[in-house]
Amino acid sequence: MSLFKRLLKGNLNLKKTPKQKGDQDDGLKYYPEDSLAIDERFTNNFRKNGGKFLYCTDAQEINEAFDNILVENDWYEKEVFCINQMLSKKFDGYNLNFTKKTTATFFLTTCESLISKNGSILLSSNQIKEKKLDELPTNIVIFATTSQFVENISEGLRIIKNSGGKFIPSNITAIQDFETEKEKDFMSYGSSTKNLYLLLLEDL
């Protein structure tokens, strides 16, 4: 069974460490978060952040998941902010009005990387041009692939630098807060909360 199918069914179990001398029988010890696989860590942290995760194995499942998102939110025949022509063509059969206006109902985009350490989504000017996060629609649907998992932001930045050639993208930022109804603590003020869906396609 696929790893992600097991995760989505809620069958993720913490692993026990071998019992050490002096340990109490009822004192169960577990491996730290860092011992989990990179995709498991991302999934756990992304969900803790309030993100909505849809794992798909092929294009048909992607289309079905996207359709479910539109139905759930009543987004058919609504405006969608999208600057990616590949995505505009991929999802052109859903009676959506693709626009460059950030006042649209939702934002459809790709991303640079999926950050395992904190469950955040790394974006750059390739996806958002020079716009700030608070200028983007509150609702976001991100199309990504399993090959985009990285351990941390530093690794994500290194990939951007190595793949950018002469034109390294600017305006690099990460989205991490996906619970629009959650009361913010003092550490969260100034951040931009988004209602975010991740369409994740298996490509490995």
Mean pLDDT lowest among 3-7, 66-70, 101-105: 3-7
At 181-196, the pLDDT tens digits run 554 443 333 457 899 9
Residue with the bigger pLDDT between 156 and 21: it is: 156
Contact 100, 81 (CB under 8 A): yes
Q: Is 131 exposed, middle or buried (0-12, 13-18, 19+ CB in 10 A)?
A: middle
> Taking a C-beta distance cutoff of 8 angstroms, is the pair 116, 150 a contact?
yes
| CATH number given to 37-201 | 3.40.50.10420
Q: What's the pLDDT band for 167 if we cut at 50, 70, 90?
A: confident
Please tell me whether the overall predicted TM-score, pTM, comes out greater than 0.85 for this model: no
pLDDT, residue 10, reads: 39
Label the pairing between strands 139-145 and 106-109: parallel
Backbone angles phi, psi at 197, to 5 degrees: -110, 135
Local structure of 19: helix, strand or coil: coil
Domain assignments of the chain as residue spans, ordered by start: 37-201
171 vs 191 pLDDT, higher one: 171
For residue range 32-44, list pLDDT tens digits in order.
555 689 999 999 9
pLDDT value of position 191: 54
Q: Has residue 6 got a pLDDT over 70?
A: no
* pLDDT, position 35: 61
Taking the C-alpha atoms of residue 73 and residue 77, their distance in angstroms, rounded to an integer, is 12
Q: 3-state DSSP call for residue 102?
A: coil
The predicted pLDDT at position 31 comes to 44
Of 102, 100, 89, 96, residue with least CA distance to 140: 102
Mean pLDDT of all residues in 124-133: 95
Q: 30 forms bridges with which residues in the sheet? A: 16
